[in-house]
Chain A
Amino acid sequence: MDILTLKGVGLTLQGNAGPVEILRGIDLNVKAGESLALIGPSGSGKSSLLMLMAGLERASTGTVSALGQDLGAMDEDGLARFRRGRMGVVFQSFHLIPTMTALENVAVPLEIAGEARAAERAAEELAAVGLVARTGHYPAQMSGGEQQRVALARASAGRPKLLLADEPTGNLDQANGAAIMDLLFGLRDRHGATLVMVTHAAELAARCDRVVRMADGRLA
């Protein structure tokens, strides 16, 4: 069963020098439980495609469906509600909330989703990524690797069916990057989630079930 379906998807953004066509004619299906790597040179549209899958960007043409729902039919708040407990997103720059501790960062999506045991669940998730001792620390007090582990815990806290990761090791050294990937795949295996990952690293892509190459806004 397909968890993600993209049909004829195009994305045109307004740049300073006029409209820029980022994506064109993308057709892609992702099966439930599959892991998919999006690779390609910088500027090929990988991250934009991931943003479309997350409902964070709206397709200019075509349709994007996730978990059987047409994302184009939902407004911004509808998309936000849709993501709750269904999608987890990991960024290259972690995007933790700087005013919150690690525990609070992980608890936020659970609280937003109305989870009664948000704090306990967040603590469990942090334990799962090896950060029991860092629960009370603010992002600025943690290393990049630790911050990305918090971000992973946050993305998986809601047991999402779809995990989207945008170059999750891009800001990390090799050792930390490898550890993060182990955690990412471990979480995906544990929760049976579908994983779509943007990466430049061939060895990381090789760990996925399928690799899709992009060039110039199209699937190669």
Chain B
Amino acid sequence: MSLALRLAAREMRGGIGGFRVLILCLALGVAAIAAVGTLRAAINAGLADQGAVILGGDAELSFTYRRADRAETDWIATHSRASSEVIGFRSLAVAGQDQALTEVKAVDGNWPLLGQVELSQGTLAEAFAVQDGLPGAIMEPLLADRLGLKPGDRFKMGTQAFRLSALMLSQPDSATSGIGFAPKTVVRTEALAESGLLAPGSMYESHYRLLTGAELGGLRHQAENAFGPKGMEWADRRHAARGVEAFVNRLGSFLILVGLAGLAVGGVGVASAVRAWMEARVATMATLKVLGAAGRLVAGVYLVQVAAVVVLGTALGLGLGAGGMALAMPLIAGALPFPVETGLFPGALAEAAFYGLLTGFLFALWPLAQALRQGAAAIYRGARRVWPATPWLVLQALLLAALIGGAAWFSGNWRLTLGTLGGVGAVLLVLWGAGFGLARAARRLARSPLVNGRPGLRLALAAIGGPRSEAMAVVLSLGLGLSVLAVVGQIDANFRLAIQRDLPGKAPSFFFIDLQPDQLQPFLHRMSGDPAVHKVESAAMLRGTLMTINGEDARKVAGNHWVVTGDRGISLADTLPPGTEITAGQWWPQGYDGPGQVSFAAQEAKEIGLKLGDKLGLNILGRDIEVTVTSFRKVDFTNAGMGFVMIVDQNALKGAPYTAIATVYADPAAEAGLLREAARTWPNITAISVKEAIAKVVEALTAIATATVAAAGAVLVVGLVVLVGAVSAGVPARVREASVLKVLGATRGAILASFALRAGLMGAAAGLVAVAAGAVGGWAVLTQVMELPFVFEPVSAALIVAGGVVVTLVAGLVFAAVPISARPAGVLRTLEG
């Protein structure tokens, strides 16, 4: 064993008590990252393993507003050993006076190709069987509850009556759809023949699932070449739930980066612990040097010990994270709508270990290198803060670069990594500045005449501003966690504010979809004649995909802009719709029947670089048309009203089966009555309550906010450990201080009040900095990313400041018990030594 190792082992015989905070900081940070990484890996593994089941087949071809044509069905038959057609659309289920929006899945006899449907009673064949002239249907229990239905009862969709034969407890292919706006109902497609729901132009999607042994890459290539230009979308079992997968990966990466922020806070605790530990070893180090130990040997002795505790803390964190997730996984798996595979995921643990080790060393090496740079005599005289020697600085820089590079590599997203880590770095810098500023301000204030006659306040200020102040540790440790909470609080509050205050005033009560052209006039007449209805807007609508811009692939020209990433609602009009503002170019003349023209949303056109005269290739219901951009319009997408990126002249889409969409703005009290009447008069049309749709979006956003708050909570817990470490390290100094103050005539109450005041001031400072960071972060996300106005939200801000005060106060007062109760004579006698 080398001498350094031997000496290190001898030193460590005394235990690692001084490293408790370091180990806990690292372990908690690593555990949080390991837990998030494990969950992400478990979901991805579940999705990969069950890909075919949750997709409903090995591959899927999807079409919008149409079913596969002859060529396509032939191709499917040729390339599969079995296939199944599933049609999805939204409708109103009506039972007596009750009605509710439902997502309908119309299936054929082969559904499901894979997996099992779990029903409350009977078999699937029995469930769909026609009894007493009524076809069977199954629905999710939530919808049955909402409509007050039980198996055996009847309900209607469109003009078709159904018998609820069983409740659908689970279905295998539920994870492939995105946010569901409504609970599901499953029926046989042939039962809808007379319902009027699948009329030409109705808004539906058809999916064709295939079981095939063919190589999926080649099959995809073939299908896309043949049917891509006709609007076919491809999916296969390799990435069955692409949306879920992308969401889980992005949220997982973000949460891991927030966890990394927790490790950064833990790093503050690591640095403090190593500094305190090195200070306690000053004499040993000096003695080693006096005895002739070279700098390398001394460095080796202490580096070995620091490395041992960093590895121990990281290993403990991995165990905690993996073990915790193993215990929690059954609960989590039960709550998620997609399969989760349990087990150990070495990749996730390796990522957490990488972060733990690098952060641990990054923060531990600085104070170690500082101490090592002191000469023996200087150490005996008392350590001064010096810069580490150049090789150590280079090593630190390399560690930092490796940490950032590794984080980017693991997350697979440089922008997200640099944005998050840059933000964390900036907040840490601001917090450091705030801690420094707080100490300076307290020092100045302690000497100001303003505090004359207030010894408690002067004591508190002097302690915050004096040597060995805890201010920096408190502000740094608490500040970052509170900052993340403050950002989430501001964004969340602003978002809710926008929805609750702004939308109800401007947003319509309902969207009515699938209005057939001949139903539009009677519908508008009925609605506008109702005194409870303030406004009705309608537009012809069909869906299409922007395929090319000036002959080039639109995705290549516009990147991943949302306008080109899928099919969009396209309206057609002859005259300029009322209230439309043209910002450039000219609207076509009434009755225009020349080459196709399109009016494009001005802001979106600017974002993808469109100019007047550009030629756009659109695919609408499998048909390619070319239109020229002749005007730009101002469109407001924030009020949930009617807004189309593209309006095409009526002649360009002559003969296309379109439907109309209408928005109705009505008194809230009259909404239920209007809905009932509309459903009775026009059974085929579907009403979507804007309030319910928004509630669904808010629900999804709340889940994301909750996950972020949980990650911020992990940062706060690590911060608390650092805080407790800092406060507990200050106990001996406070014992001495309290004893001296008692000698000078201070009562225990006065001393306690002074301790509380200093803790409260430091907590308030951390909270105020966090609120400022929250305001800046919230403003940036809302105005720059979400393009929403930002209003500073005082309630969550006040809670953050109060939280900072309470946490420091509690920590301060818990550790004040010893100093307050210490008997001065005993303390001072010990110190006289």
On A, residues with C-beta under 8 Å from B are 47-48, 51, 54, 56-57, 76-77, 80-81, 83-85, 89, 91-93, 95-101, 103-104, 107-109, 111-116, 118-119, 136, 138, 140, 154, 158, 166-167
Q: Which of B439-469 contact A (CB under 8 A)?
A: 446-447, 449, 452-455, 458-459, 462-463, 465-469
Beyond A92-B832, A95-B828, A116-B453, whether A83 also contacts B467 by CB under 8 A is: no
Beyond A99-B469, A111-B455, whether A83 also contacts B828 by CB under 8 A is: no
Q: Is the CB of B831 within 8 A of A80?
A: no
A99 interface neighbour in B452, B455, B467, B748, Cβ under 8 Å: B467
Complex Cα distance, B382 from A140, in Å, reads 11
Q: Which residues of A contact B831 (CB under 8 A)?
A: 93, 95
Q: Which residues of A contact B746 (CB under 8 A)?
A: 80, 112
User: Least Cβ distance of A15 to chain B in Å?
Assistant: 11
Complex Cα distance, B462 from A112, in Å, reads 15
Q: Is the CB of A56 within 8 A of B743?
A: yes
Complex Cα distance, B742 from A84, in Å, reads 10
Complex Cα distance, B693 from A25, in Å, reads 88
Q: Is the CB of B825 within 8 A of A97?
A: no
Complex Cα distance, B745 from A85, in Å, reads 8
Q: Which residues of A contact B748 (CB under 8 A)?
A: 76-77, 80
Q: Which residues of B contact A81 (CB under 8 A)?
A: 745, 747
Complex Cα distance, B467 from A92, in Å, reads 22
Instruction: Return the chain A residue nearest B820 by Cβ.
Output: A76
Beyond A56-B828, A93-B832, whether A113 also contacts B463 by CB under 8 A is: no
User: Least Cβ distance of B545 to chain A in Å?
Assistant: 69
Instruction: Return the chain B residue nearest A56 by Cβ.
Output: B825
Complex Cα distance, B744 from A54, in Å, reads 11
Q: Is the CB of B467 within 8 A of A138?
A: yes
Q: Which residues of A contact B739 (CB under 8 A)?
A: 95
Complex Cα distance, B824 from A76, in Å, reads 10
Q: Is the CB of A166 within 8 A of B832?
A: yes
A108 interface neighbour in B447, B455, B828, Cβ under 8 Å: B455
Instruction: Return the chain B residue nearest A85 by Cβ.
Output: B745
User: Least Cβ distance of B385 to chain A in Å?
Assistant: 13
Q: Which residues of A contact B733 (CB under 8 A)?
A: 98
Q: Is the CB of A51 within 8 A of B829?
A: yes
Q: Is the CB of A91 within 8 A of B750?
A: no
B447 interface neighbour in A104, A112, A115, A158, Cβ under 8 Å: A104
Complex Cα distance, B736 from A115, in Å, reads 24
Beyond A116-B453, A140-B467, whether A80 also contacts B462 by CB under 8 A is: no
User: Least Cβ distance of B574 to chain A in Å?
Assistant: 81
Q: Which residues of A contact B446 (CB under 8 A)?
A: 100, 104
Complex Cα distance, B490 from A75, in Å, reads 51
Q: Which residues of A contact B465 (CB under 8 A)?
A: 99
Q: Is the CB of A118 within 8 A of B467?
A: no
Q: Is the CB of A116 within 8 A of B740?
A: no
Q: Is the CB of B452 within 8 A of A112?
A: no
User: Least Cβ distance of A94 to chain B in Å?
Assistant: 10
Q: Is the CB of B459 within 8 A of A108?
A: yes
Cβ of B749 within 8 Å of any chain A Cβ, yes or no, is: yes
Q: Is the CB of B832 within 8 A of A91?
A: yes
Q: Which residues of A contact B828 (CB under 8 A)?
A: 51, 56, 91, 93, 95
Q: Is the CB of A77 within 8 A of B749?
A: yes
User: Least Cβ distance of B444 to chain A in Å?
Assistant: 11
Beyond A111-B452, A118-B453, A119-B449, whether A95 also contacts B740 by CB under 8 A is: yes
